[in-house]
Amino acid sequence: MLKQLQMGLRAFVLLASKFWSCLIFLFKKQVRVIAQHQAVKYEIFPLSPLSRHRLSIVKRKVLVLDLDETLIHSHHDGITRPTVKPGTPPDFVLKVTIDRHPVRFFVHKRPHVDFFLDIVSQWYELVVFTASMEIYGAAVADKLDARRHILRRRYYRQHCTPELGSYTKDLSAISPDLSSIFILDNSPGAYRGFPDNAIPIKSWFSDPSDTALLALLPVLDALRFTQDVRSVLSRNLHMHRLW
């Protein structure tokens, strides 16, 4: 009788523990959703006649966007990253097959990334350029695009150049006009051949209070009016300290 009572008590404790874990998970997910959907504004004022004229005489520029640790962070089955707190709910889960093995990726979106993409897609042609495999990178880009058709041009690992143990990205393969193209990337090695066509950004993993993308909007707003992006970006090698 005592043994049965002990077994019943253990079963109850186990069930209560699972229920509590589930409750905590749902609570954290809801808090995160609320935080990410708080009103975020970047005021876009009507352009003055002079600004409209200036914009009309310069070429529309191309903004190249990295994915991992720039716009998102992900980890997959069996890998526990110390940068992501256990129990932190992902924004979405991707199921892909790599070398005939099914793999689940748990993807976390950088704070304000949806708002950021909404705004910059009005100013620039957006291009995704990731060193990840296409089967993964394409799925992430699809989720970020959310059927808005703003991330139509995409480049993947096969378009990169292996160099010094990492992958470099050839911006001239996207546009031969280097005066009108620049990249936002957390990895300096990715744009080592084009330092004057890059905006560095600090790597992001899971900080919910991160505002790096929002901080870039005033810079990107102004940069679209320039004749040559390199005339500005070559003077701002310290920018990686700002974001």
* Cβ 59 vs Cβ 228: under 8 Å: no
Closest CA to 113 of 47, 61, 67: 67
- What six digits make up the tokens of 7? 């077994």
Q: Active site includes 196?
A: no
Q: What is the SS3 assignment for 32?
A: helix
* Cβ 120 vs Cβ 63: under 8 Å: yes
DSSP 90-120: PSEEEEEEETTEEEEEEEEEPTTHHHHHHHH
Report DSSP state, residue 123. Answer: T
- What six digits make up the tokens of 225? 């009016």
Dump strand ranges (E) for the chain.
62-65, 72-76, 92-98, 101-109, 125-129, 153-155, 161-163, 166-168, 181-185, 198-200
Exactly one of 68, 91, 114, 185 is catalytic; which is it? 68
Per-residue buried b or exposed e for 127-162, using 16+ beta carbons within 10 Å of the residue's own CB: bbbbbbeeebbbbbbebbbeeeebbeebbbeebbee
Q: Active site includes 118?
A: no
Q: Other C-beta atoms within 10 Å of 48: how many?
A: 9
Exactly one of 66, 91, 114, 185 is catalytic; which is it? 66
Active site amino acids: 66, 68
